[in-house]
Amino acid sequence: MNENNDFIVSTEWLAKSLDNPNIRIVDCDIYDSFVRAHIFGAVGIKVHHYIKHPEYAKSPKEYPWVADPDVVKEIFEDMGIGDDTTVVAYDTGGGLWAARFWWVLNYYGHSNAKVLDGGWKKWFDEGRPISNEIKKTNLVEFTPKSNPDLICTLDQGVDRVNNENVIFLDVRSDGEWDGSNSRGNNRTGHVPGSVHIEWTNFLNKDQFQTFKSKKEIQEILDLNGITHEKEIVTY
């Protein structure tokens, strides 16, 4: 297991845990990719990876958001995720979508969630068990308990600009930060006074994009003045 083991598990750890009925493995890539092949015993996400409310998905201009509690409850229970389930999320993109899913679980009070270090690429390269079978899930109950402390609304963010006790951490790409890549938006740039650390800087430069060690990540944060004493708003 990676030394960041509160949140991250290794492929070796997961391989030894495949028969554990209390663990639900979640493939966070698009559902078509999951159907073609996935980690043995995994389930896929049939909705948008941001877990939007179905009504929000009707407009491509809507900002990504988590679904309402009743919708999340239905989605998670359909995936076999209950209140006592240990969830291990993975993807093919350096943990980007898996970490998002981890966050959604935590937002709804389910902290027993992990991200697979190295994801699908590492698992596949090591020749570990895969399948294209759609697993039937167990009947479980998920109780969503939203934590508003994990959200910073637009109004709250505006109020925090220039607050010396708040640090805005911009983890977007270098191009988005400096305005050279608009990604189709009408405006470019970043929040005034924010700190920029592209999220890929927290990953190793290997073919699997595994996470750096806790010590290495802490050194990056320290170098950029990201401290426990401040409120951190990421975007």
In whole angstroms, give the CA distance from residue 11 to residue 172.
Answer: 27
For 84-114, b/e burial (b = at least 16 CB within 10 A) is ebbbbbbbbebbbbbbbbbbbbebbebeebb
Instruction: Please indicate, yes or no, whether residues 60 and 135 belong to a single structural domain of this protein.
Output: yes
- pLDDT tens for the chain, residues 1 to 235: 444 467 999 999 999 999 999 999 999 999 999 999 999 999 999 887 667 766 655 555 455 567 889 989 999 999 999 999 999 999 999 999 999 999 999 999 999 999 999 999 999 999 999 999 998 888 999 999 999 889 898 899 999 999 999 999 999 999 999 999 999 889 999 999 999 999 999 999 999 999 999 999 999 999 999 999 999 999 9
Composition of the chain by helix, strand, coil, percent to 5: 30, 15, 55
Per-residue confidence (pLDDT) for residue 55, from 0 to 100: 60
For residue 90, being part of any structural domain is answered with yes
Same domain, 19 and 82: yes
User: Residue 31 and residue 91: Cα distance in Å, rounded?
Assistant: 11
Do 70 and 107 fall within a single domain? yes
Whether residue 16 contacts residue 32, with contact meaning beta carbons closer than 8 Å, is answered with no
Cα dihedral 68, 71, 76, 77, rounded to 10, equals 140
Q: What is residue 86's three-state secondary structure?
A: strand
**Residue 155: what pLDDT?**
92
Q: What is the pLDDT of residue 59?
A: 55
Beta strands 86-90 and 38-39, pairing class: unpaired
Domain assignment present for 213:
yes
CATH number for position 60: 3.40.250.10
pLDDT of residue 56: 55
Tell me whether residue 3 is in a domain.
no
Position 140 in a domain: yes
- Identify whether residues 158 and 143 lie together within a single domain: no
Pairing of the two strands 43-44 and 8-9: unpaired
Q: Considering 113, 147, 181, which residue would you say is the last residue of a domain?
A: 147
Domain endpoint, select from 131, 147, 163 = 147
Domain boundaries, position 222: 152-234
Q: Which of 97, 114, 147 is the last residue of a domain?
A: 147
pLDDT recorded at residue 75: 93
Phi-psi region of 232 (alpha: psi -120 to 50; beta: other; left: phi over 0): beta
DSSP structure class, residue 41? T
SS3 9: strand
> Which residues are within 8 A (CB) of 214 and not within 5 positions of it... i.e. 6 or more apart?
3, 4
- Give the chain's domain count: 2
Q: Indicate the SS3 state at residue 107.
A: helix
